[in-house]
Structures are given as C-alpha cells and as structure tokens.
Structure 1
Amino acid sequence: MKVLKWNTPKLVKLIEQESISLRLIHHPSIPKSTLDDFFTFVPTSPLTLYCLVMDKIEGENLEQWSESNGAISQSLALEWLQQLVEILDTVHRTEFFHRDIKPSNIILQPDHKLALVDFGTTRRVTNTYLAKVSGSGGTDTGIGGRYEITAVITPRYTPLEQIEGQAVPQSDFFALGRTFVQLVTGIQLMDFPKDNQTGNLIWRDKALQIDKPLADFIDELMAFLPGQRPQTTKVILQRLEELPQQIKNYKLANSKIVKYSKFALRGLIILGGIILSIPLLSNYLVTQGRKLEAANNSQGAQEAFDWAIKINPQLKPDVSELYFEKGRGSTSNLDLAKKYYKLAIKYNNQNSQIYTNLAVVCQQLQQFECVTDNYGKAIELEPNNWQGHYGLGTFYDERGKYDLAEKQYQLSIKTSNQAILPINNLSRLKIIKGDYNAAIALAEQGLQKAKEPELRAVLYKNLGWALFEQKEYSQAKKYLEKAKELDIHRTSTHCLLAQVQEALGDVDYAWISWEICLLTESREPEVFGWRSQVLERIRLKDPIRQREE
C-alpha cells in the first residue's frame, strides 16, 4: 500500500494519476490495481490519507542488483532491453508514458523476468502532446493554461525536454538508454565524463563487451533531441530484431580473415590470370564483394567490385543495382542511404531513378544543393520524368518558392497524364494564392483519375478547403467529411473541418475536430498556422474554451 500523508494538490494529483494508469495498463510485468484499491482514510481531522493498494512485485531492483553483480553481458543487455521495450510498448499503446525509468524502478523477479514499477509519474499522452505543440511559456510546474504538466526530474536519467515540463513518449527512450549505460558498465552515471561539444556521455571504454552496433543504438536512444531518437516502441522492437545479425556482421567484418581479405583478393586476381577464365574470375569477385558488403566491410567490397569491373565492364549495371537496392533498404539511416545511392551512380551514371532517389534523401537531410543538383540530373537524363519534376516542385514548395514549385508541378502533369500527386499539390498552391476556382477545377480533375482512397481523400480535402475559403460551408463540410471517411489520419482535414463546423455553429463537433488537429502528427505547413491561431484563441479565453471549463 502506498500512503500519501502530505495533502497537497500536486501530490494528490500524482497518486490519482498512478491509480488511473495501473487500472488501465494491463501487462503481467506491471503492478495491478482496481478502482476499489484507491481510497481515502481520515484517522484524525483534518488529516486525510490517500491510500493506493497494488500488487507487490517480488524481487530485487536493478540498482541493488547492479551493485552486487556488476556490469551485464551483451546477450543479457539485449534480452533485458527486449523485455523492457515490450513492457513500454503496452504502456505507450495505452496512451501513457512512464517519465521515471531508472534501475531502481525495474525489478528482477525470481523467474528472471523484469518488471516496471512506480507509476506515480505517468502522464497521458494526449495532454502532453497538446502542451508541447502549444509552445506556451513555462512555469515552475510546467506549461501554463488548461493543459498543465508537472515536471518530473531524476538527475542524469531525465532529458532536457522533460526538465522543461515538456516530456514526450520519446523521453522514456532517453531514460532507457541511460539505464542501460549504467547496467552494461556497472558504473553510476555521475562518474562518466561528457563530450564537451555534444554533451554525450563517454562510456564505451567502460563496456568493452558491448559491440559497436548495440553501443550505437544505446547512444541513439539517448540522443539530445526527441526527434533524433527512435519514434515509437514498434521501431525499437524492429531494430532489436535486426541487432543480433548486425552484431554478427560487425564481428565478421572486424575478424582477421576479413581484415586481410583485400590481400587475398589481389592474390586471387594474379592467380586468376593463370587458372581461371575472365568471366569466372569477375563473377567470383562480385560474389566476394557482396559477402564483404553484407559483413559491413565496404572498403573491401568496393575493391572487389572495382577489380571485377576492370576485368569485365559489363558488370557495372549489376553492381549499381546492388547499391541502389541497399539505398532503398536504408530508409531508417538517411546518411547510409545517401552513401549507397552515390555508389550506385559511381557504377551507373545513366539511371535517372537513382538521381531522383538521392535527391529525395538529400531533401530529408536538408542538403539543398544536393537536392537541386540530383533532380536536375534526373530530369536531364529523362526530360519526361514526372517524378523528378514533382520532387523538385515539393522542394520549392517546402521553401515557400511557390512560383518555382507551380512551374515544376505543371511540367510533371504535362509529362504524365496519370500523375495525381502534382495535380493535388498544384490545387493546394492555387488555394494558398487565392485562386479558388482553379483549385476546385484541379481537384475535380484529379478525382476523375485517382483510385486509391488516400489520394481521393486529399483531393476531397482540397475541394473542401477551397469551398470553405469561398464561404460555401455546407458544400465544404460534405467534401471534408468524405475526405475524413477515406483517410481519417490526415491532420489538415480535421483542422479544416473544425473551422467549417464553427462557421456552421456546430461548436461541440468543432472542439472535437480541433483536439484532433492539435494532437496528431503533421508536416503540412498550413496545419501549423491553424494550430497557432486556435492556441492563441485558447490563450485569450476563447468561447469554446470557456464552455469546456
């Protein structure tokens, strides 16, 4: 039983949150509690005790265990990381996050399974996300206004955004990474130096049993900004499935056999002139190059490929295709994808699709000269490449260069009669420029061709948006509801529907739509403008907010 003896509003709120979270989160490695397990008791007036009963988790917390047992092995680190992320996956999918992960809140049970305890600092995801989006001024208790957040801080385990009262689910991943640094080193976090430039812990020299792929992943969990960390527990679980093979490849790549492989390859080339035919030798070198690349020995692989192509230049397209596919498979690591696409171009500089893909990666990396150069080369090789024109249009669009974007969208539509995406984007630009009739015509043109629900949804959204701007509210509502029915996840549809519902006097439904607009993820620039407007209204005591209060 947890008993709260200090009857302050903040502490009462925390124990109430803990009761709610334990009732809603169901996992065998999390304590259980029921509605009847939370009650008050008044031993003597005016003292009121708040009592919370929950399952007792038998075992030893990892803070104590680590003091007795020291650093854990790599295999145990992978096993424990898997267990904890599976627990966190349940927590996050129930729309909570923990906010206080550390060794002392993790219990090693007698059956060697881990359990996560102390949910007194949990927070519902929705309120925190809204506070994060609002960007309002902070106070000593967190973000002001309706969505107040109490800052929860455990020195060395808490990321900066949580210290500032703006914790997000990825804050749990930072604390998880810091926890594993302590577990794999057996050293308290306060004893580690920090990199003067990055602020990162310098810990790897104290955990020599941890190979580079796992060490890199732990550092990624502890990245300074939430956006630099894995974004969901699902992503982490997928990465954990891949880590054993990556570790195996790393060990192979750093073995003596592979380190000396380039000398062996040179010897084989000399011998090959005597005992092997040229086609057989070049194919053998390509095979060895593939094996070295799979073992992350890029230098050895490229040397093998280069020798193979010297012997048989006709192999260039095959090697280029290998790197092109590796680039397409590296979506989670943009720098690696860029490297592979550049290697693909090295072996075949006549493939416009490689240049287009490289431009897309550079666009995500915000490397603008690389974007324009590679889209330009793709279009030069294939003037009727609608994807190249469309991609360059989106690049100019994101930069606010609407005239240049419009030109590229028009070229994209001209080169492909079935290209729906540029029609949609051009329709959106016409709305931004106030040419609503042209926007409606384009959206209707796209709807005649589009078959996929997501494409039809975004075109209906544009149609509703243009009609809203023309104050045709009933028609706008009809099309926006069609868009929502086809794709409920598009944030801009909810933002627009909120405005239309307000114009029609549907205040209750408008507030629900605004909630979704504020809380769901979006990269659409207009969404940020709409959010800012409604948050400013909330701050100024908008009638919708007053009604809620």
Structure 2
Amino acid sequence: MTEPSPPPASRYRLQDLLGQGGAGQVRAAWDTWLDRPVAIKTVPRQSGMDGWREARLTARLRHPAFVAVHEAWDEGEQVHIVMERVHGQTLKQWLADHGAAPVADACDWMQQLAQALAEAHAQGLVHGDLKPSNLMLEEPATDSPTPPDASRTSARTRLRVLDLGIARRIDPLATQSQAAPGPYAGTLAYMAPEQLRGEAPTPASDLYSLGLVLLQCLLGHLGEDGPPSLAQAWRRLQGDWPDWALRDAQDRDRAQQWPAGLPPLLSALLAADPARRPAGMAEVAQTLAQVMSQPAADPRPGVATAPPARPPGPAPTRRWVWAAALGGLLVLTAGGALWWLRGQGAAPTAAQQLADLQQAEAWINEFDDADALDRAVSALARLTAQAPQSAPAAALRSLALSLRHWQRTGTDPADDLRQAGQWADKALALDNQLARAHLAKALLLNQQKRGDEALAQFDQARLLDPQDVLVVAWTATQLNSMGRFDQAQALLEPALAAHPLAAPLLDEWGTLKFRRGDYAGAEAAYRQSLAARPTDSVAAFSLSGMLMMQQRLDDAQSVLQQALRVRPHYKLYQNLGSVLALRERWPESAEATRQALARWPRSYPNADAQANLAEALMHLPGQEAEARTAWSLALDSARKQTADHPDNPGWAMRRGIYAARAGQGAEALEASMRAVTLAPGDPEALYYAALSQSLVGTPAAARQLLGQALAKGFPAEMAAQEPTLKPLLPAPKPAPQAAARPARS
C-alpha cells in the first residue's frame, strides 16, 4: 500500500535564515519525505500572487542556471515556495572579498548568465533586475562530473540565477494578469537608461544590466565608490561606456590587458541607445566564447592600446527603437527606481509609443487568442490616432486586422480585411523600407489567396530584415501552403540555427516535417515549440493531432490536458473530443466537442467540430437525429469553404468525407478525388480518399488509394480503426522461420 504524503507544512524541518527582505524571507530546510536539503521562500499574503507568480515563472525554465522549484502552497497569511538549496556565495559577496575577477572567470560567469537568459527571453520572460546579489557562484560537488565543453561552464564554479520575483512577461497583458511588478521596479545601480526614463524592462534592458555586471566583475566597481547616486545614473543616461567607468590609471591599465574582443562587447552592451546593443543573449554568449579564446593584450608600455572611446557595436537588428529626448526631473522612488515625471495630459512620448507598440506586438504574437487580437486592434487604433505618421503602428494595425480576419474572431471579418488593406498601404506609403510594412501587405495578399504576390512581398520583407522571426515564419507558412517544401526548408534551416527557440519557426518546421511524412521530426519540433512557449495552442493542436494519427492516445491526451490548463482553446477541445472518440468514450467525446463549439469563433468554419460531434452522437442511443443534423452542418461548412478556396486540398478532402457520411455518394467521390489531384503525394489526402471510396461502396478503388497512403507513411494502425478499411489492409507478413539444421550423421 502506498504511504500517504504528509501535509506540506509538516514535511519540512526549518533551519537557518538565509536571507530576508521586503518581499519575505528565505530559510534553509530539510525535506523529511525525500531526505534532501531545500530552501523555502515565504511571501506575505498581501503579495501572495507575486509568490505564486515567481514559482510558476521559475518552474517553466529548464536551464541549469535557474534554481529549481519543487513545490508551493498557501498557508494562512503566507505563500511558501520550496526551492533547490544552492550552496555557495553571491557574486556580490565574492566581489566584496576579492575585488576584480580574472578576465577568464568574469567572461565565463557572464556567458553562463547569457545562455540562461537566452532561454528566458525565448520563453517570453525578461528578468528586469540583474545584479550581483541575485547571482550565486556555486561550488561544484567534488564528485560531480565536469559539464560538457559545449556549455562552457567553469570547472571551478557554476553561476546560478536566484531571484525571479521581479521577472515579468514580455507580453504585458500576461504580466498584468499575474500581478507582476510595475514597470519601474528594479535596482538603480543596474538599470538600463530606458528603465531610468520610466520605461518597462525589455530583453535589451537585461543586456545592459548584464554589461554592468560584467564591467563590475572586470573592474571591481561600477565607476565610483559609495552607493548608487543620481549623478552616476545621469552619466549612464548621457553616454556609452567607457565615458564614465574607467575612473583612474589602474582601471585603464587593467582595461589595456583585456582580450581585443572585450571592449567592443562592453561598448555594445552598455550603449545608451538600445538599438546599438547586441541582437540577443545568444549573440552575447557566442561573443564571450570568442573573447575567452583570444589572448590578453600585451601590457608592456608602448604595446597596449586603450579601448576606443565609442567603438562601433553590432549592426542594429531590433525592430523599432525610437530615441527618447531627455527632459523633466529625475525622481528616486522609495523602491530605488528612477523615472521621468511627465506633464499632465502631455502627448505620448516616443518611449511611450514604443512601449505601446511592444505591447501590441506581444498580443499579435498570441494570434491564436481571440481576446489578445481584439486588444491589439483596439490598442493600435488608439496609437495610430495619436501618431498618424507612424509606419510601424500602421503596419502592426494591418497585421492585427489580417490575423483577426484569418481567425474569423471579429464581428465583421470582411471589414477587418478591408481595413487591413488600407493600413498596409498606408504603412508602405509612410515607409517602404520598413520590413513590417511589407509583411503586413504580404499577409493581406495571403488572406486574399494571391499567393505569388504575397511571396513577392514576403521576399521584400526578408530582404529588408533577414533576422525578423515573424517575417521568416509567415513566409514559410506561405510556402508550405503552396506545397513548396524545398523552399520552405531552405528558408527555415538557417533561421532556426540563429533562433533555435523561436516558437513561430518551430511550428512551421513541424508543419513542414509533418507534410513530408517525417512524424518524428514534426513531433520534436512541436514539443520544442511548447517548451519555448507553453501558451502555443497551435503547436499543442498540431502535435496532439499527429500523435492521434500514430495511435499514441495517452501522449495526445496528455498534451491536450496540459495545454488546456494554460489556455482553454476551442481547437484543443476539438482534438480532445477526437482522442476520446478513438478511445470509444462517446459521451465524453460529445461533451468535449460541445465545449469546443461553445467557444468557436462566430465566423470560423466549424466543419471538423460538427463532424466530431456527429461521430460521437452516432454511437449514443437516441441521438440519431442530432447526429444527422451535425453531419449536415459539417457538410454545409465544408461546401462553403471549398467554394471559397477551390484549390485547397484540405477542404476538398473534408467535403468528400462528410458527403460520404451524409450519404451523398457522387459528391463524396468527386470531392475526394479532387483532393488527391490537388495534393497527389499527401498521405492524408490519399487515406481520406480511400475512406470516402469505401464508405460509398467502391472497395477496389479504396484498396488502391489506401495502399498508396500507407506507402507514403500513413499509419496502418489508424487505418485499422476504420471498420470499412480494416478488411482492405494488406495481410501482415509472416514472421521468418529459422532454417532447419541438417541432421547429424
């Protein structure tokens, strides 16, 4: 009999106090159930949502630099978070004891930090408060193996990121819904210039803070003795490193001995303008690896050269960063944050407009969420009214409207498409060198089924910004939909090498692999996408559908249940109904499908959901009339879609199946063979054509088409689930028999 787990509070034996601050305290403890040391962070109830938020954010991150979260629970007026116990000392303590760190150690620690933050940024999180007191140098166990060289982790110490209490989603809507800290939270000494001006932290802000921590490791200070001051912050606002950092001859001598690549990296990280900073943490980690392979400069007089005052940084790759003019009064808040006071009723500043654009873009990136698209459209309507000459705002407004039309979630899809065209044209008229303006036009043309014209605009967008993930992803979507798989692969491979955790790219890579019959490759891509962005219902829907095809029903149902805990999306309920149908759990299947239809967008075709409901109802006594109604609704929806999209093999395939189920034999044969003509090598089109043929009573044609589908990789296990197809499957080959041994003489 299994021993019951004790209540959370009684499971842990509290020990020493490890730290205490305004947000709570951290104590060492012993887990009496698993016999291991842990740390328990206790947060007062009034900020309990922050405690739960920190636990959830930390638990999402897989990089070993982040402290693992084991458990969290409410008790009375407090929230408790049980975490991995990390032994060592903070980087702040180390620098206080040792002063400047050796260059190799400083670069190695910051490379570890950059690699960890690259994962956090890819998952939509920005730290916002990087500083030495939030970083731990962990002494490795003497019997622990050395990590692989690819990670570049120091053999002597491992850097850990301790505190994600201030971390926030890059998506501001999700941040607000999780009661995240306000946009001005942070630590004055390590805040980027844009944070000092009152802007919300972004990945670029983390880059700047990492640069400050790296500088402090190399010099032992941040430019002056004593606590952070307004004067120090003012210098950061006024110029790049090293204008304000090298305070004496000793600092200059030390800087002269750094490897050649280090001063340019510091200058890029500590650029006052975010556009001049590196493109991301992955680039920083790669540069630090190169720096560590370089020899130090020769310190002999006459040989060493001081770093240039403002060496050029990497070419700007960020999308829209507008310079904010300095003005107003600096105010130091009680929490140590610095902002600019803005006048009452003043027009939005460039910084505010940038924040609004970033928020709208985050909502657009969640395009499978109808509420997010509605908020994006509303926010961009306000922004384009406030800044009518902003090409980025016009382009984003067009994108949001096109995506809402594509999802059919607005009240008037036709009007959405019309407005999308107007705003795309305006964006191009304002700035025809803006990649996003061409992306907006391309997406509009895509919605209008003008594929070749859309590709021309996609190509123009990629020419202007080859690193734009959305541009590459939507171009691949267009190519995949047109069956140009080789071109899609050639486009996605280098993009994924540069952005391996970008969910939009991974989703399209999974689609490409699936359409080519590489189910293992597709599964890997979709799972990686979900790891990078757990709210990605597109990946969850696609992955669960593919797992169902392989009869991996437990895996499919697990993917769906996990995704539904994050977002109760109608397509996820649709696939849940399908999984339950394959399990022959017909009442539950019907209920899951009804949940899908209850959430279904008003103007979006619901043929598949109606077909799922009809299938379930066919197996329930007394539901025959409702089942016939559902088949009729499914066929009507498919007919409308094939009329609107006559060259789409998917809708032709659906119309064939639904017509066969509804007893419309002639229509079923015509539509199913139309799908095969449009996609002759597609295993799904061949399989469903075979099913249509078998349902209308032409088994010979069905057997031939089924054989072609199986040859293209369609799972025989799924075909065996269809009663009309099972007899048509080829007989399994007999197992080879061992050769008879010759008799001994």
- The two structures have a TM-score, normalised by structure 1, of 0.43
| More helix, by proportion | 1
- The two structures have a TM-score, normalised by structure 2, of 0.33
